[in-house]
Amino acid sequence: MALEIVDSCVGCFACEPLCPNKAISAVMRPGEPLFFIHPERCTECLGDHDLPQCAEICPIEGAIVDEFGEPLNPPGSLTGIPLHLLDQFRVTECRQ
């Protein structure tokens, strides 16, 4: 039972100091997500907090996923930007 940080992480450091188990660290290898959750240390905050701290503060939708790959903060849930506008923006961003 552990959360995972994926590619869309922007490396903002917000989650790192909050982890009660010191499971989160910065990764300095190109091609990998900027931050990493150690799967053996992550308890999903059980026993420490009601809610997983990293996912509570993370500002990036989709950056933190559970063991099934489901994002804890799905698209639109943090910014309130409607999905069709988010999709449009992603397309233009990829072209750049």
Nearer to ligand SF4, 70 or 84 (CB): 70
> In this structure, how many other beta carbons lie within 10 angstroms of the beta carbon of residue 53?
20
CB of 67 to ligand SF4, least distance (A): 11
CA atoms within 13 A on the CB side of 73: 24
CA atoms within 13 A on the CB side of 8: 13
Residue 72 contact partner, candidates ligand SF4, another protein, none, CB within 5 to 8 A by sort of partner? none
CB of 90 to ligand SF4, least distance (A): 17
Nearer to another protein, 40 or 74 (CB): 74
